[in-house]
Amino acid sequence: QKEVEQNSGPLSVPEGAIASLNCTYSDRGSQSFFWYRQYSGKSPELIMSIYSNGDKEDGRFTAQLNKASQYVSLLIRDSQPSDSATYLCAVSRAGNQFYFGTGTSLTVIP
């Protein structure tokens, strides 16, 4: 079983819609959770971090964490064509053990 699982997509949404990206993780001892955005040919860029159950909002982005279900999600409201990228879910445990999912490709259609 992989440490972090994501649906590879591709996920397509129309401009202005809500994009919903999901991620599950296998280790209940995981402590920190991150979403990275990676444009084609570029390096991953941190966009959200979440450490406790519930929602965390930052602009058009909302991260949701449910530790009981071992589930992390990212919602992008009012999606824009510039949001088209691959989104990587990452999980860390104590001692800086860090695991990435394989990413979900998102396309926002104008």
Residue of 42, 54, 59, 77 interacting with another protein (CB under 8 A)? 42
Q: Is 29 in the site for another protein (CB under 8 A)?
A: no
Considering only the stretches 9-17, 28-36, 55-63, 75-83, report the one whose residues sit in contact with another protein under the rule CB under 8 A.
28-36
Residue 57, beta-bridge partner list: 62
User: Helices then strands (H, E): number in the chain?
Assistant: 0, 11
**CA–CA distances in Å: residue 48 to residues 33, 60, 81, 91:** 8, 11, 19, 12
Q: Which is nearer to another protein, 71 or 99 (CB)?
A: 99
Does 72 participate in binding another protein (rule CB under 8 A)?
Answer: no
